[in-house]
């Protein structure tokens, strides 16, 4: 899976959970999208299912913008 496909899937999950159609990779997770940590956990679980990867809690705790999650997810997908 290429990075563009990973980005598309991650954005789709964010849009599904937030109901926002204008989520992009530069959005700050906790301020622009106004998610809390529980929301992020649910989103990460969905991304794990969609991409068939496993993301450690320590990894996604460091994510501040959507691009961080795209990058992290792509690294895990390409290492499979």
- pTM beyond 0.95: no
Q: How many domains does the chain have?
A: 1
- The band of 80, judged by pLDDT with boundaries at 50, 70 and 90, is confident
Dump pLDDT digits (tens) for 21-31: 789 999 999 99
The span from the first CA to the last CA of the chain, in angstroms, equals 10
Instruction: Report whether pLDDT(20) > 80.
Output: no
Find the CATH number of the domain harbouring 58: 1.10.1200.10
Dump pLDDT digits (tens) for 21-61: 789 999 999 999 988 889 999 999 999 999 999 998 888 88
Residue 53 or residue 78, greater confidence: 53
**29 HSE (CA, 13 A, CB side):** 24
Which residue range forms the structural domain that includes residue 59? 3-78
């Amino acid at each position: 899976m290429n990075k563009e496909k990973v980005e598309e899937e991650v954005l789709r999950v964010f849009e599904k959970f937030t109901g926002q159609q204008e989520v992009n990779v530069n959005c700050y997770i906790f301020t622009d999208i106004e998610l809390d940590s529980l929301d992020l956990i649910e989103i990460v679980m969905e991304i794990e299912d969609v991409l068939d990867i496993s993301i450690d809690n320590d990894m996604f705790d460091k994510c501040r913008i959507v691009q961080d999650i795209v990058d992290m997810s792509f690294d895990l997908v390409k290492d499979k």
